[in-house]
A and B are shown apart, each in its own frame.
Chain A
Amino acid sequence: MMNTVFSMQTKIASLLLATGLALSWSASAQITVLQGATVHPIAAPSIDNATVVIRDGFIEAVGTDVEIPADAMVVDMTGHQLYPGFVHPATQLGLTEISSVSGTVDTSEMGNINAALNVEVAVNHDSQLLPASIAGGVLSAHIIPGGGLIRGHSAVMNLDGWIWEDMVIRPQAGMHIAFPPGAVDDADNEDLKIINRTLDQARHWHQAMEASLSNGLPAPKRNDQLEALGPMLAGEVPLMLHANRYDAMEAALDWAQDQGFENIILVATPDVQHIAPRLAEDNIPVILKNVYALPMRRHEAYDSSFVAPARLAEAGVKFAIADATRGMDVANARNLPFQAGTAVAHGLDVDTAIKSVTLWPAEILGVDEELGSIEVGKRASLFAANGHPLEPMTQITHVWIDGQAYDLSAVKGRALYERYRQRQQSR
């Protein structure tokens, strides 16, 4: 019954959109009211039989005692669970399509210094992987570059849009540096020297540029790579430091702190659990790559990766759970919540687990005023499910991105399913 009501309203809405009427309608306020669901705001306790008012793509009100605007489109969501969209904290969605077909892959630039790269310009808004992610409740993502020692700027993006420009939520979300593992016990490591030299050059270049602007001295020769490092050196953009083994993580943090960086986010494997106390003390957040990883060392416990989130939480580290961020995991970015689910089986409390894929990534990425919870003033990017969203058995039934109902039946997987199911049933 509810579904019928909903689909009729969607039909009316799309009919309006299809005609010129939509223009005048959306020129005034576009208001959607989701009524009757159990709302899980994440930042606050869950609310039964709640009302969510969405105006022009943003959440205007949430609660049980909410006045419904007269011109609102009301959707009955009784019996559903409403959650904020998952915020994927590190992925290469949009930069790769079919990993074995090199013409479709733009994930890793050649060379050591790629500071001047901005990933958002290569995000294919029509990638088939994006609707698949959305159908899994992953509605926004931090898209990261993958090539070289200094890799460039990442961006937080909506996963739905007509052009990449409209999808950008936060450009320059971070400058990515891969700490060379060989530098752990080698002060003369060549790769680290390259990084150090580049950062020194960048500091000098920016000093010279400032001097030129304020004193009229000759400007330094244009250099895109050095210029791009400016926001990170000024502390305006976080240093996103990649390291995979705990000793490399420690060395990377020593190095970064020696360099004077204060705005640091560690992008790390489950091995990060071994340096949790330091991270808590230094207040460094973590993007945790892949709970679904084999133990780093053969002799380690079978569950050593599964317990990493719980260990971080116990130590008081703020973290966001990611997948492997690359390769096969890009097409399966939709499986992000299950990694957090498995962490629950291995000691993480369920509320922290869900935060680690919604509110915490938003906070770590500096987009928590817009994403990560169902709260007044945030983007209305949310989904409805028939169960707990960290459970693989749960089905996602509705999605809204910036207040717009997303047509899940058009997602390739679902469309093929319907097409072949009908054929099968007609036989």
Chain B
Amino acid sequence: MRHLLTLILSCGLIVTAHAAEWTPDIEAWNSPEPPQPEAVVIRNVTVWPATEGDIIENADVLFRRGKIVAIGVDLDAPRGAIEIDGTDHHITPGIVDNHSHAAIIGGVNEASRISTADVRIRDVVDSESINIYRQLAGGVTTINLLHGSANAIGGQMATIKMRWGASPEELIFEGARPGIKFALGENPKQSNWRPAEPRYPQTRPGVEQVIREKFQTAADYQKAKESMPTGRAARNRIPPRPDHEMEAIVEIINGQLDVHSHGYRADEALALMRAAESFGFRIKTLQHILEGYKIAPQMAEHGAGGSTFIDWWNFKAEATDAIGYNPALMHEAGVLTALHSDNPELARRMNLDAAKAVRYGGVDPHEALKMITAYSADQIGAGDQIGRIAEGYDADLVLWDGHPLSAFSKVTQTWVDGRLYFDREADQRMQEALEAERAELMAMVLNQGEDDAGATETDTDPADSPATAKRQTFNFARHLTGYRPSELDHDEYCVFHAN
């Protein structure tokens, strides 16, 4: 108890010490909201607008109260505007990662029923996930939190902005269209996980069948609801029992809830598009879609976007034909193409995945950048608000100390809604403050002698709970300590297999 009190006191001291300059904290709950300046102008910078326009060198970007107002050369800035020198720097829109599991509490998968359309990720957003801060440091400003891929029809997604320190409700980005996760292939058919009681379906035709059946059942449910008479005629009639799963699937058919479907192979993706067509709606995106290049013309015709890994392959039998050239080929065929992380570590360097779209198939660098900004925003129905540097867009911006697709460059600033949420200098202040705090606590512990010191060795870290221990057997999390379980959580049926 005394330890806790001292901890709070020492944190308080540190916050006061830096009151003049905004400094983030390693804990979201203790991280102050950065101010939103009235006006900011970043000058003499290379602008990658991710629009139809060209890259502009030595230009200025002006934003006011969180919105971009002008891009040009020698812009007039309002009086009192904060001036930032962007010499030798590049500026891009904030990265939009439309396939993430980086901030979900209590498990990514409701791996039970074949359809869990009634489950909502927005109910379990983890605003404390350190991934939010770390990904800001990689230039990510919006992530789409998706349910896992264990079920043919998974839960409803939640899109958040990386407002480190805000509450779960405040993180939600209402500008994105609502959507739902689907999954095809090895995961829903349980190829790599065998529960004691197998679940229908166990084959790809079964997955396609169960999805069509759910669509039909939902259509029937809606018809039954609509055919209920009103007024006096309704007396003595029993309405259909309210069913949240069916309600969600009805919204899918009505085009109110966008489908984002996990899947690798061409056959099953084509089948899903045809099933949707037979119910009169369209699949918004095929996620991962490693064989998208085999059905790119059909995707373009249907209107399905392709959101893919650039080069992960061969981790499953269904991923053997994955090629780095997939984005180039889909893009060339007119498919709205984006790249995503699906992984909290990779999400910190999405710019290098975009760079590989240049390596594999020679995509123009500006187009490649759009695959992690403009086009990924378009895929979640927010391309008119985020993902581009254009007038009226949210001031979600990333300043890089070199070419944004270069391995030799890093992020120096990340702005969200015109607030400076990541700043290398502020990060440095935070590191120094944490170091000082740690030294102070260590000194206190050492001064208190053997008996008391023993107590601090008791590890009460939630990351050591048995449930987490099991999850931590995956490669990227093997030796990590001090993490909250949700921070290392991921779609365990999707890509990670211990070897």
A427 to nearest B CB, angstroms?
A: 6
Q: A99-B499, A297-B482, A392-B405 are in contact. Are A342 and B349 (CB under 8 A)?
A: yes
Residues B333 and A98 in contact, CB atoms below 8 Å apart: no
B164 to nearest A CB, angstroms?
A: 12
Q: Which residues of B contact A162 (CB under 8 A)?
A: none
Query: Which single member of B314, B333, B352, B483 contacts A424 (CB below 8 Å)?
Result: B333
Q: A344-B408, A417-B329, A420-B329 are in contact. Are A392 and B355 (CB under 8 A)?
A: yes
Partner-binding segment picked from B142-150, B233-241, B292-300: B292-300
| Size range of the chain B interface in the assembly | 35 or more
Cα separation A328 to B481 with both chains bound (whole Å): 22
Q: Which residues of A contact B346 (CB under 8 A)?
A: 292
Q: Which residues of B contact A132 (CB under 8 A)?
A: 313
Residues A326 and B499 in contact, CB atoms below 8 Å apart: yes
Q: Per-residue CB proximity of A329-348 to B under 8 Å, as 1/0?
A: 11110110010011011100
A265 to nearest B CB, angstroms?
A: 19
Question: Does A421 touch B at the CB level, under 8 Å?
Answer: yes
How many residues on chain A are close to B (CB under 8 Å)? 61
Within 8 A of A (CB), among B133-153: 133-134, 137
Question: Does A393 touch B at the CB level, under 8 Å?
Answer: yes
Within 8 A of A (CB), among B432-491: 434, 438, 463, 474-484, 487
Cα separation A245 to B480 with both chains bound (whole Å): 9
A158 to nearest B CB, angstroms?
A: 21
A409 to nearest B CB, angstroms?
A: 13
Question: Does B29 touch A at the CB level, under 8 Å?
Answer: no
Question: Does B106 touch A at the CB level, under 8 Å?
Answer: no
Residues A99 and B427 in contact, CB atoms below 8 Å apart: no
Q: A99-B315, A299-B434 are in contact. Are A413 and B325 (CB under 8 A)?
A: yes
Question: Does B26 touch A at the CB level, under 8 Å?
Answer: yes
Residues B497 and A294 in contact, CB atoms below 8 Å apart: no
Partner-binding segment picked from A17-25, A61-69, A101-109, A165-173: A101-109
Q: Per-residue CB proximity of B181-203 to A under 8 Å, as 1/0?
A: 00000100001100000000000
Q: Which residues of B contact A395 (CB under 8 A)?
A: 359, 362
Closest to B487 in A: A298
Q: Which residues of A contact B321 (CB under 8 A)?
A: 416
Query: Which single member of B130, B313, B438, B479 contacts A298 (CB below 8 Å)?
Result: B130
Query: Which single member of B133, B352, B478 contacts A342 (CB below 8 Å)?
Result: B352
Closest to A326 in B: B499
Closest to B457 in A: A185
Cα separation A298 to B409 with both chains bound (whole Å): 24
Question: Does A194 touch B at the CB level, under 8 Å?
Answer: no
Q: A245-B479, A301-B427, A391-B406 are in contact. Are A98 and B345 (CB under 8 A)?
A: no
Question: Does B410 touch A at the CB level, under 8 Å?
Answer: yes
User: Interface majority SS on A: helix, strand, loop or mixed?
Assistant: loop
Within 8 A of B (CB), among A393-411: 393-395
Residues A292 and B349 in contact, CB atoms below 8 Å apart: yes
Within 8 A of A (CB), among B317-336: 317, 319-321, 323-325, 328-329, 332-333
Residues A424 and B296 in contact, CB atoms below 8 Å apart: yes
Closest to B293 in A: A420
Cα separation A324 to B427 with both chains bound (whole Å): 27
Question: Does B344 touch A at the CB level, under 8 Å?
Answer: yes
Q: A341-B407, A342-B349, A391-B406 are in contact. Are A302 and B314 (CB under 8 A)?
A: no
Residues A98 and B349 in contact, CB atoms below 8 Å apart: no
Residues B352 and A338 in contact, CB atoms below 8 Å apart: yes
Question: Does B260 touch A at the CB level, under 8 Å?
Answer: no
Question: Does A303 touch B at the CB level, under 8 Å?
Answer: yes
Residues A350 and B345 in contact, CB atoms below 8 Å apart: no
Residues B407 and A301 in contact, CB atoms below 8 Å apart: no
Q: Per-residue CB proximity of A139-150 to B under 8 Å, as 1/0?
A: 000000010000
Q: A98-B314, A100-B497, A327-B499 are in contact. Are A393 and B480 (CB under 8 A)?
A: no
Residues A98 and B317 in contact, CB atoms below 8 Å apart: yes
Question: Does A35 touch B at the CB level, under 8 Å?
Answer: no
Closest to A245 in B: B479
Residues B475 and A328 in contact, CB atoms below 8 Å apart: yes
Question: Does A120 touch B at the CB level, under 8 Å?
Answer: no
Q: Which residues of B contact A299 (CB under 8 A)?
A: 26, 434, 438, 482
Query: Which single member of A96, A269, A328, A345 contacts B407 (CB below 8 Å)?
Result: A345
Residues A391 and B355 in contact, CB atoms below 8 Å apart: yes
Cα separation A297 to B361 with both chains bound (whole Å): 38
Closest to B314 in A: A331
Query: Which single member of B323, B402, B480, B497 contacts A417 (CB below 8 Å)?
Result: B323
Within 8 A of B (CB), among A108-166: 108, 128-129, 132, 146
Q: Which residues of A contact B487 (CB under 8 A)?
A: 298
Question: Does B358 touch A at the CB level, under 8 Å?
Answer: yes
Residues A331 and B359 in contact, CB atoms below 8 Å apart: no
A269 to nearest B CB, angstroms?
A: 6
B144 to nearest A CB, angstroms?
A: 21
Residues B427 and A302 in contact, CB atoms below 8 Å apart: yes
Cα separation A27 to B315 with both chains bound (whole Å): 43
Q: A97-B314, A331-B314, A342-B349 are in contact. Are A302 and B406 (CB under 8 A)?
A: no
Chain B: residues with CB nearer than 8 A to chain A? 26, 130, 133-134, 137, 186, 191-192, 293-294, 296-297, 311-317, 319-321, 323-325, 328-329, 332-333, 344-346, 348-349, 352-353, 355-356, 358-362, 365, 402, 405-410, 427, 431, 434, 438, 463, 474-484, 487, 495-499
* Sampled A-B contacts (9; CB under 8 Å): A100-B186, A292-B345, A298-B482, A302-B134, A302-B348, A392-B355, A393-B355, A417-B325, A417-B361
Chain A: residues with CB nearer than 8 A to chain B? 92, 96-101, 105, 107-108, 128-129, 132, 146, 244-245, 269, 271, 292-299, 301-303, 324, 326-332, 334-335, 338, 341-342, 344-346, 350, 390-395, 412-414, 416-417, 420-421, 424, 427
